[in-house]
C-alpha cells in the first residue's frame, strides 16, 4: 500500500483565511521531512492568492440578467436549493506551546443538504472548529451550526443547524453510484472563497485507491475528475443525473502533474453513513498486516504453490492488530470471504477487480473476514474479527484534540506523532527512526508513547540541559517509561532526585526534585504555562465542559 | 566521489574583481618574496566509482591545482585533489614544462598528500618551503595563486580563529585555521598554499565566497603528516574512539560523584575495538586530563600556543600513532589513570566504512539481485542532503553503528537494487533491504554471502531481509542461467567483486 502523493492540496479555505497574517496555516512555510516514501506529507493548504479579494457578485456580475432568455435548465436541478456555504473558525493546536490555544484561522468550504436533515461536508472543513456558520443562497442570514459526526479517516463530516428555519425550502440530495469512466460530472462549491455558487464540469478520469491526505495514512477509493476544483470546493457535491456521485475533497498540483482533482465516491460516503447509524463513528477497520504479491515463479514453487496465479504472502503482522494472533509471517492468503485472491493482490468483487483491502474497507468494527490460507503448505481456514489498529494513529494527523504533554522543571515532554514532527521538524536520526519504524518494527510494544524531550523553557535549574533535547525517555529512577502517564506518575513521586535515562548512550538527565519544585511556579509564570500537563487526548469540546476551570481555551 | 565531491567540499571561488589588493598592506609584502617561487601546477585526471552501478567507474574528471614544493623533491597537495586519480602530472608555472608524478603518501582524513615527480630535477630552481608552525589568531598570512602567465597572485588574509573542526571525510576532528580573506578566482581551487614570512602556514581546506571565510589545514597538521610520512608504513592520525558530554550541569556532576567544581567530561559512545576501549575506558567515566593537560567541564584544555582548544586536538594532532597517552579519569568519584596506546582506525575497520577513495566497491550480483556492503560512500550517492534523502534505515544504521553492533567486526550487507531478468519477475520493486541470512547462514559480510550462495537448499537460494518481504527465494539454476543476460543487457563485465 503505497502512500505516494506529494503536496496534495485540501480544497478548503479561502482568501479570508490567508488575509489573516497572524494565523498562518499549519506547516505552510516549513517543508515536511522528505523521507524516502513521503509518508508524512502534510495536507498543504493552497498558496495564498495575493490580491484576490472575495468575489463580490455586485462588482463582478453587471446587471445583464434580463438579457438571458430562457436560460438552459440546470441538468442536475437547482443545486442552490441544496448547497450551503460553510464558514469555520478553527484553532490549530500549537505543538510547540501545547498549553496554548493555538493559531486561530477562518476558512470557507461547501456542503450539501441530505436527508435527516443534515449537511454533508469534508472533515477538513470542520476540523478543529470552534465556531461554525452556514449560509444558503438567497438568504442573508448566517446560521450557527454544529458538527454531528466527523470521520477524519475518510475526510467526511455531517453537520446540522438547530434553527428550524434553515432547512425550510432546502432540497436534500440523493446519492448515486460510481459514475462511469469518461462520463460527465459537475462540481459545485465556493472556490477561492466566493460568495456565490460556482459550477465546473469535467469527466471521470480514473477510479483508484488514493491516499486521503487529511489523515495522511488512510487510503480509500477515490475518483479523479477533470472538473476544475479549487480551495473552497471542499465538501461540495459532484453531481451526475441529479444525484450526488462524490464529494470534492483534494487536488494535486506539483512537479509531476497539475490540476488533478479528486472526489470521495459514494461507496465511501455510504459506508460512513452506515457506520454512524448507531450514533457512533467506529472508524475504518484494518487487518494490521503487510503482504507481498506472489508473481515470481520460483517463489511460488518454493512455497509449494501451483502455477494458478493465486495468493499473496504475509510479510509483517502487526501484533496490536486484529491479525496479530491469527496470521503469521509467511502465510499465503488464498481467498478472502470466498473471493479468490490473485497473485497481484486483486480480488473480484461484484464483477470488478479491486485490491484485496477493498473487502475489508466495506466492513465495520466487529465484522469478521474469512481467510483460506496455506501455512507451511497446509490449508487452513481462519476468521479475523476486524478492528482499528491503534499504532497507526501515531503516524496520522490528529484533529479536534489537544496535544498531550508534560512540563516538568521547564522540560517539555511530548509523545512522538506526525503533528509533533511537523511542528519541530526534528532531524534527530533516532527520533526519525522511531517514527518511521514505530509500526513495522513493533516499537509500540515497548513504547506505546515514544516520549521526546522536545524543548526546554530556560531557567537556572535547567540551563545546562540543552544537550538532552530530542532525546527519548527510557527510564525514570530505574522504572521503564512506556506512556506519558507513566512519566507524569514518576514525576508525582517524591524522591530526592529524578534520574532520567534516555534511549542510547550518554549520561542520564538528573533533576533535583526540591530545586525543580522551587522553580516550578517561577517557570509557569515566566512562560505563561497555563497547565503543566495534558495526559488524555480528549476531544476539545468535552474538555470545554469537563475541564474548563483548569484548561482554559478559546 | 569524482567531480561531485569538490563541488560540495569546496565552495568554488567566485570570479573576483581584477583589482588586486596586493601591496596594500605592508605585511603582505613581508609574507612572500615573489622572486622565490615555491609553487607549481598540478594536473590530475581521475575517475570515481559509481556506487549505484558498482561494476563501473564514472566519466573521467580533471582538476587543476597548485602544489607546494617541499624539501627532498616532494610536492604537498590536498588529498581531495588526488582522490581516485588515474594520472597526476606536475607543470612548471613559468615554463609550462610538464612531468608525470606519483602519489607517495596520502591521508584522506587529514586531507593531505605528497607527490613526487618522476625526476626530482624537475623541481630545480624552485625554493622548497619550510613550515611556519607558529601562526596564532591575529596573524596575517598570504594566499598564493598563479596567473595564467605563471606570475604570482598574492592575497592577504587574517587568521581570525584556531579551532578543532571536522574535515571533509568527516572522520575525526583536526586543528583548523579560520581566515578572513578575499580570495580571487583562478583555475586552481585546490591546494591554495598560505605563507607567512615565506614559510608554509597552511593549505586551503574550504572557502565560502559569500562570507569570505576560509578554513585552512594548519602547519601543525602538515608537520604531523610529514613526520609520519617518512616512516615505511604511513599509519595515519590517531583515532579518538569515543565521544564526550559536558559536565557543566551540577546535578549530573553530583550523580557522577564529582564533588568539587573541577573539570572533566562525561565519556560516552566508546567505539568497540578502539584504543581507548582496549585501555579500559568506560562509558560514564569522567575524563579530567589528557597527558599533562587538564580538561574543563566543556571538554577544552588550555593549549600553550592557541589557548582554549577542544581536547580532541591532544589525541589527534599532538599525539602520534603508537604514543602512550595517559588519560586521567574519575570512575564513580575515584581517580584513576589509563594509558592509551594511540591507534588509527582505517576506514575498512568500521562496520559501515566512513569513506572510500582509490578503491573499487565490493558487490555481488546474484540472478539480478545486487548485494553490496553498506558504506557512507554509498549513502553519499544521494547527494549533499544524503542524511535526509538516502534510505532512512541505512542512515540510522550508519549513525548508530557502534551502538547497534557492539560486537564490531562485521559489515552490513544490503540488497541495494534489482536488475530485472527472467528470474526476478515480481521482485522488481524490492530494493534498499538489509540482508540478515542467506540459505540459513548469518550474513556479516559480502564474503559470507558469496560463501552462502554456494550452498542452495533444494535448488533455491533463500535470502532473508530485515524489512518486508522478509524472504526472497531465488531459483538457483535460473539465477545462473540469467548471468549471460545480465552481462550482455546491462553491460556488466563481471558479476562480482569481493576485493
The DSSP-derived string for A217-239 is SEEEEEEEE-S---TT-TT-EEE
Question: In this complex, do B389 and A465 lie within 8 Å of one another by their Cβ atoms?
Answer: no
Q: Kindly give, in sequence order, each residue whose CB lies less than 8 Å from that of residue A186, ignoring residues fewer than 6 positions away.
A: A75, A76, A199, A200, A201, A227, A238, A239, A240
**Phi, psi values for residue A107, rounded to 5°:** -145, 165
pLDDT of residue B110: 96
The stretch A103-118 carries a mean pLDDT of 94
A-chain residues near B468 (CB < 8 A): 290, 292, 315-316, 440
The average confidence (pLDDT) of chain A is 85
Tracing cell 518511521 back to the chain, one arrives at A436
A124 is annotated as an active-site residue: yes
Tracing cell 594566499 back to the chain, one arrives at B143
A-chain residues near B392 (CB < 8 A): 35-36, 429, 432-433, 436
- Percent of chain A surpassing pLDDT 90: 75
C-alpha count within 13 angstroms, C-beta hemisphere, residue A86: 40
Distance from CA of A265 to the nearest CA of B (A): 30
Q: Kindly give, in sequence order, each residue whose CB lies less than 8 Å from that of residue A293, ignoring residues fewer than 6 positions away.
A: A312, A343, A344, A345, B426
pLDDT digits (tens, 9 = 90+) for A240-288: 999 999 999 998 877 777 788 999 999 999 999 999 999 999 999 999 9
Question: In this complex, do B478 and A298 lie within 8 Å of one another by their Cβ atoms?
Answer: yes
- Alpha-helical (H) ranges within A33-179 are 57-60, 123-126
Dihedral sign for Cα A164, A166, A169, A175, please: negative
Coil/strand/helix, residue B88: strand
Distance from CA of B100 to the nearest CA of A (A): 45
pLDDT of residue B37: 81
Tracing cell 474497507 back to the chain, one arrives at A361
Question: In this complex, do A464 and B246 lie within 8 Å of one another by their Cβ atoms?
Answer: yes
Helix %, strand %, coil % of chain B (to 5): 20, 35, 45
pLDDT band, residue B1 (cuts 50/70/90): very low
pLDDT digits (tens, 9 = 90+) for A167-193: 999 999 999 999 999 999 999 999 887
pLDDT band, residue B14 (cuts 50/70/90): very low
The yes-or-no verdict on residue A71 having pLDDT over 80 is no
B-chain residues near A303 (CB < 8 A): 473
Q: Which of B395, B424, B427 sits opposite A429 (nearest CB)?
A: B395
The stretch B180-209 carries a mean pLDDT of 88
pLDDT band, residue B416 (cuts 50/70/90): very high
pLDDT of residue A3: 35
pLDDT digits (tens, 9 = 90+) for A446-485: 999 999 999 999 999 999 999 999 999 999 999 999 999 9
The answer to whether residues A409 and A459 touch, using CB atoms and an 8 Å cutoff, is yes
Closest CA to A387 of A310, A465, A318: A318
Closest CA to A462 of A533, A411, A406: A411
The answer to whether residues B111 and B190 touch, using CB atoms and an 8 Å cutoff, is no
Closest CA to B468 of B421, B438, B431: B431
B79/B62 Cα distance (integer angstroms): 15
Angle between helices B392-399 and A429-436 in degrees, nearest 10: 140
**Strand B199-208 vs strand A198-212: parallel, antiparallel, or unpaired?**
unpaired
pLDDT digits (tens, 9 = 90+) for B146-163: 888 888 889 999 999 999
pLDDT band, residue B34 (cuts 50/70/90): low
pLDDT band, residue B32 (cuts 50/70/90): low
The answer to whether residues B11 and B208 touch, using CB atoms and an 8 Å cutoff, is yes
DSSP string of B284-331, one letter each residue:
T-EEEEETTEE--TTSEEEETTTEEEETHHHHHTSS-TT-EEEEEEEE
A447 is annotated as an active-site residue: no
Q: Tell me how far CA of residue B480 lies from CA of B414, B416, B422, in angstroms.
A: 21, 20, 11
Catalytic residue of the set A82, A124, A186, A553: A124
pLDDT of residue B427: 96
Residue B387 burial class via C-beta count within 10 angstroms: exposed 0-12, middle 13-18, buried 19 and up: middle
The stretch A153-180 carries a mean pLDDT of 95
Structural domains present in chain B: 1-230 (2.40.10.120), 242-341 (2.30.42.10), 348-497 (3.20.190.20)
The answer to whether residues B479 and B367 touch, using CB atoms and an 8 Å cutoff, is yes
- Percent of chain A surpassing pLDDT 70: 84
The yes-or-no verdict on residue B270 having pLDDT over 60 is yes
A166/A138 Cα distance (integer angstroms): 12
The answer to whether residues B441 and B451 touch, using CB atoms and an 8 Å cutoff, is yes
B220/B216 Cα distance (integer angstroms): 11
Question: In this complex, do A427 and B245 lie within 8 Å of one another by their Cβ atoms?
Answer: no
Closest CA to A227 of A264, A263, A201: A201
Q: Kindly give, in sequence order, each residue whose CB lies less than 8 Å from that of residue B18, ignoring residues fewer than 6 positions away.
A: none
Q: Which of B268, B399, B467 sits opposite A507 (nearest CB)?
A: B268
pLDDT of residue A553: 33
Best of A1, A6, A298, A309 to mutate (most B CBs within 10 Å, chain B):
A298
B448/B80 Cα distance (integer angstroms): 33
pLDDT of residue B259: 84
Q: What b/e string do you get for B86-119 counting C-beta neighbours within 10 Å, with b at 16 or more?
A: eebbbbbbeeeeeeebebebbbbbbbbbbbbbee
Question: Which residues is A8 bridged to in the sheet?
Answer: A252
A224/A248 Cα distance (integer angstroms): 10
pLDDT band, residue B135 (cuts 50/70/90): very high
Question: In this complex, do A430 and B475 lie within 8 Å of one another by their Cβ atoms?
Answer: no
DSSP B393: H
The yes-or-no verdict on residue B30 having pLDDT over 60 is no
Question: Which residues is B336 bridged to in the sheet?
Answer: B329
The answer to whether residues A312 and A294 touch, using CB atoms and an 8 Å cutoff, is yes
DSSP string of A255-266, one letter each residue:
SS-SSEEEEEEH
pLDDT digits (tens, 9 = 90+) for A315-365: 999 999 999 999 999 999 999 999 999 999 999 988 889 899 999 999 999
pLDDT of residue A158: 98
**Phi, psi values for residue A66, rounded to 5°:** -60, -25
Catalytic residue of the set A198, A216, A234, A470: A234
The stretch B469-481 carries a mean pLDDT of 96
Question: In this complex, do A301 and B475 lie within 8 Å of one another by their Cβ atoms?
Answer: yes
Q: What is the pTM of this model?
A: 0.86
Tracing cell 618522476 back to the chain, one arrives at B118
Q: Which residue of A has its CA nearest to B430?
A: A292
- Percent of chain B surpassing pLDDT 70: 92
* Residue A51: all three cell numbers together: 490580491
Q: Which of B249, B426, B478 sits opposite A293 (nearest CB)?
A: B426
Q: How many helices (H) and strands (E) does chain A have?
A: 11, 29
Q: What is the predicted ipTM?
A: 0.88
- Give CB contacts under 8 A, 24+ apart, made by B439-443: B443/B413
Closest CA to A186 of A268, A243, A125: A243
pLDDT digits (tens, 9 = 90+) for A11-62: 554 333 333 333 333 233 333 333 333 333 333 333 333 333 332 332 333 3
Question: In this complex, do A295 and B246 lie within 8 Å of one another by their Cβ atoms?
Answer: no
Coil/strand/helix, residue B196: strand
The yes-or-no verdict on residue A314 having pLDDT over 70 is yes
Dihedral sign for Cα A224, A228, A232, A236, please: negative
Coil/strand/helix, residue B76: strand
The stretch A499-504 carries a mean pLDDT of 96
pLDDT digits (tens, 9 = 90+) for A385-417: 999 999 999 999 999 999 999 999 999 999 999
Amino acid at each position: 500500500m503505497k502512500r505516494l502523493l506529494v503536496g496534495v492540496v485540501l480544497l478548503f479555505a479561502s482568501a479570508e483565511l490567508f488575509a489573516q497574517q497572524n494565523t498562518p496555516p499549519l506547516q505552510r512555510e516549513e517543508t515536511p521531512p522528505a523521507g524516502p516514501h513521503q509518508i508524512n506529507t502534510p495536507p498543504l493548504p493552497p498558496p495564498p492568492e495575493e490580491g484576490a479579494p472575495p468575489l463580490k457578485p455586485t462588482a463582478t456580475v453587471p446587471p445583464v440578467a434580463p438579457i438571458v432568455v430562457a436560460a438552459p435548465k440546470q441538468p442536475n436541478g437547482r443545486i442552490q436549493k441544496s448547497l450551503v456555504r460553510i464558514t469555520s473558525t478553527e484553532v490549530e493546536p500549537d505543538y510547540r506551546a501545547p498549553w496554548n490555544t493555538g493559531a486561530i484561522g477562518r476558512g470557507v468550504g461547501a456542503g450539501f443538504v441530505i436527508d435527516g436533515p443534515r449537511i454533508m461536508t469534508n472533515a477538513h472543513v470542520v476540523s478543529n472548529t470552534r465556531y461554525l456558520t452556514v449560509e444558503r443562497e438567497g438568504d442573508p442570514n448566517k446560521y450557527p451550526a454544529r458538527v454531528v459526526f466527523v470521520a477524519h479517516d475518510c475526510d467526511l463530516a455531517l453537520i446540522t443547524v438547530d434553527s428550524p428555519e434553515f432547512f425550510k425550502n432546502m432540497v436534500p440530495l440523493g446519492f448515486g453510484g460510481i459514475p462511469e469512466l469518461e462520463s460527465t460530472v459537475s462540481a459545485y462549491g465556493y472556490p477561492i472563497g466566493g460568495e456565490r455558487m460556482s459550477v465546473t464540469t469535467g469527466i471521470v478520469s480514473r477510479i483508484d485507491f488514493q491516499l486521503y491526505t487529511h489523515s495522511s495514512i488512510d487510503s480509500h477509493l477515490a475518483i479523479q475528475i477533470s472538473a476544475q476544483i479549487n480551495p473552497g470546493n471542499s465538501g461540495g457535491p459532484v453531481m451526475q443525473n441529479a444525484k450526488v456521485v462524490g464529494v470534492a475533497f483534494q487536488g494535486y498540483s506539483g512537479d509531476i502533474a497539475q490540476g488533478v482533482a479528486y472526489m470521495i465516491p459514494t461507496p465511501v460516503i455510504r459506508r460512513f453513513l452506515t457506520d454512524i447509524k448507531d450514533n457512533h463513528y467506529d472508524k475504518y477497520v484494518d487487518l494490521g498486516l503487510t503482504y507481498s504479491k506472489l508473481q515470481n515463479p520460483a517463489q511460488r514453487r518454493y512455497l509449494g504453490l501451483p502455477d494458478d496465479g493465486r495468493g499473496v504472502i504475509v510479510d509483517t503482522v502487526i501484533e496490536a492488530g486484529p491479525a496479530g494472533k491469527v496470521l503469521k509471517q509467511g502465510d499465503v492468503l488464498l481467498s478472502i470471504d470466498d473471493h479468490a485472491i490473485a497473485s497481484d493482490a486483486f480480488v473480484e468483487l461484484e464483477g470488478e477487480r479491486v485490491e484485496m483491502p477493498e473487502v475489508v474497507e466495506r466492513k465495520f468494527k466487529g465484522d469478521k473476514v474469512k481467510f483460506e490460507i496455506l501455512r507451511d503448505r497446509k490449508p487452513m481456514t481462519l476468521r479475523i474479527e476486524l478492528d482499528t489498529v491503534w499504532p497507526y494513529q501515531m503516524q496520522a494527523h490528529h484533529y479536534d484534540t489537544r496535544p498531550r504533554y508534560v512540563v516538568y522543571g521547564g522540560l517539555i515532554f511530548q509523545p512522538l506523532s506526525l503533528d509533533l514532527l511537523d511542528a519541530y521538524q526534528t532531524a534527530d536520526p533516532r527520533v526519525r527512526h522511531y517514527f518511521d519504524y514505530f509500526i513495522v518494527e513493533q516499537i509500540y510494544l515497548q513504547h506505546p508513547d515514544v516520549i521526546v524531550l522536545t524543548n526546554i523553557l530556560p531557567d537556572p535549574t535547567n540551563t545546562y540541559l540543552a544537550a538532552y533535547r530530542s532525546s527519548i525517555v527510557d527510564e525514570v529512577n530505574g522504572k521503564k517509561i512506556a506512556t506519558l502517564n507513566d512519566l507524569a506518575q514518576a514525576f508525582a513521586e517524591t524522591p530526592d532526585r529524578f534520574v532520567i535515562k534516555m534511549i542510547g548512550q550518554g549520561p542520564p538527565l538528573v533533576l533535583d526534585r526540591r530545586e525543580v519544585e522551587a522553580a516550578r511556579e517561577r517557570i509557569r509564570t515566566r512562560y505563561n504555562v497555563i497547565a503543566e500537563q495534558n495526559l488524555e487526548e480528549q476531544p476539545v469540546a468535552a474538555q470545554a465542559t469537563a475541564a474548563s476551570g483548569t484548561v482554559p481555551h478559546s | 566521489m569524482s567531480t561531485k565531491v569538490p563541488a560540495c567540499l569546496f565552495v568554488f571561488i567566485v570570479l573576483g574583481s581584477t583589482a588586486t589588493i596586493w601591496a596594500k598592506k605592508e605585511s603582505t609584502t613581508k609574507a612572500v618574496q615573489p622572486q622565490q617561487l615555491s609553487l607549481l601546477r598540478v594536473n590530475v585526471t581521475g575517475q570515481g566509482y559509481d556506487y549505484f552501478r558498482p561494476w563501473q567507474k564514472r566519466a573521467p574528471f580533471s582538476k587543476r591545482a597548485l602544489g607546494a614544493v617541499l624539501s627532498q623533491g616532494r610536492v604537498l597537495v590536498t588529498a581531495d585533489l588526488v582522490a581516485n586519480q588515474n594520472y597526476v602530472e606536475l607543470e612548471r608555472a613559468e615554463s609550462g614544462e610538464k612531468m608525470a608524478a606519483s602519489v607517495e603518501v596520502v591521508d584522506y582524513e587529514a586531507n593531505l598528500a605528497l607527490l613526487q615527480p618522476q625526476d626530482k630535477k624537475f623541481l630545480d630552481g624552485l625554493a622548497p618551503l619550510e613550515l611556519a608552525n607558529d601562526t596564532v589568531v591575529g596573524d596575517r598570512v598570504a594566499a598564493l595563486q598563479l596567473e595564467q602567465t605563471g606570475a604570482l597572485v598574492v592575497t592577504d588574509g587574517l587568521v581570525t580563529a584556531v579551532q578543532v573542526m571536522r574535515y571533509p571525510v568527516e572522520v575525526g576532528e583536526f586543528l583548523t585555521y579560520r581566515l578572513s580573506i578575499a580570495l580571487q578566482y583562478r583555475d586552481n581551487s585546490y591546494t591554495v598554499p598560505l605563507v607567512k614570512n615565506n614559510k608554509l602556514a597552511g593549505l586551503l581546506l574550504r572557502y565560502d565566497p559569500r562570507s569570505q571565510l576560509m578554513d585552512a589545514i594548519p602547519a601543525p597538521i602538515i608537520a604531523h603528516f610529514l613526520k609520519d610520512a617518512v616512516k615505511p608504513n604511513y599509519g595515519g592520525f590517531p583515532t579518538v574512539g569515543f565521544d564526550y558530554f559536558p559536565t557543566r550541569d551540577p546535578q549530573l556532576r553530583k550523580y557522577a560523584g564529582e564533588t568539587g567544581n573541577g573539570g572533566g567530561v562525561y565519556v560516552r559512545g566508546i567505539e568497540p575495538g578502539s584504543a581507548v576501549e582496549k585501555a579500559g575506558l568506560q562509558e560514564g567515566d569522567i575524563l579530567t586530563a589528557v597527558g599533562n593537560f587538564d580538561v574543563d567541564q566543556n571538554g577544552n584544555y588550555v593549549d600553550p600556543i592557541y589557548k582554549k582548544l577542544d581536547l580532541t586536538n591532544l589525541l589527534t594532532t599532538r599525539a602520534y600513532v603508537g604514543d602512550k597517552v595517559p588519560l586521567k579519569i574519575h570512575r564513580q568519584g575515584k581517580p584513576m589513570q589509563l594509558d592509551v596506546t594511540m591507534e588509527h582506525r582505517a576506514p575498512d575497520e568500521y562496520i559501515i566504512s566512513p569513506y572510500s577513495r582509490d578503491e573499487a566497491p565490493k558487490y555481488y550480483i546474484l540472478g539480478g539481485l545486487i548485494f553490496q556492503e553498506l558504506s557512507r560512500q554509498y549513502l553519499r550517492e544521494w547527494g549533499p542532503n544524503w542524511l535526509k534523502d538516502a534510505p532512512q534505515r541505512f542512515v540510522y544504521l550508519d549513525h548508530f553503528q557502534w551502538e547497534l553492533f557492539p560486537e564490531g567486526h562485521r559489515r552490513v550487507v544490503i540488497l541495494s537494487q534489482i536488475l530485472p531478468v527472467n528470474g526476478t519477475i515480481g521482485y522488481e520493486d524490492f530494493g534498499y533491504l538489509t540482508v540478515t541470512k542467506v540459505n540459513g547462514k548469518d550474513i556479516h559480510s559480502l564474503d559470507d554471502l558469496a560463501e552462502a550462495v554456494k550452498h542452495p537448499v533444494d535448488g533455491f537460494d533463500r535470502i532473508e531481509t530485515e524489512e518486508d518481504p522478509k524472504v526472497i527465494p531465488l531459483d538457483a539454476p535460473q539465477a545462473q542461467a540469467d548471468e549471460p543476460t545480465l552481462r550482455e543487457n546491462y553491460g556488466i563485465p563481471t558479476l562480482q567483486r569481493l576485493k
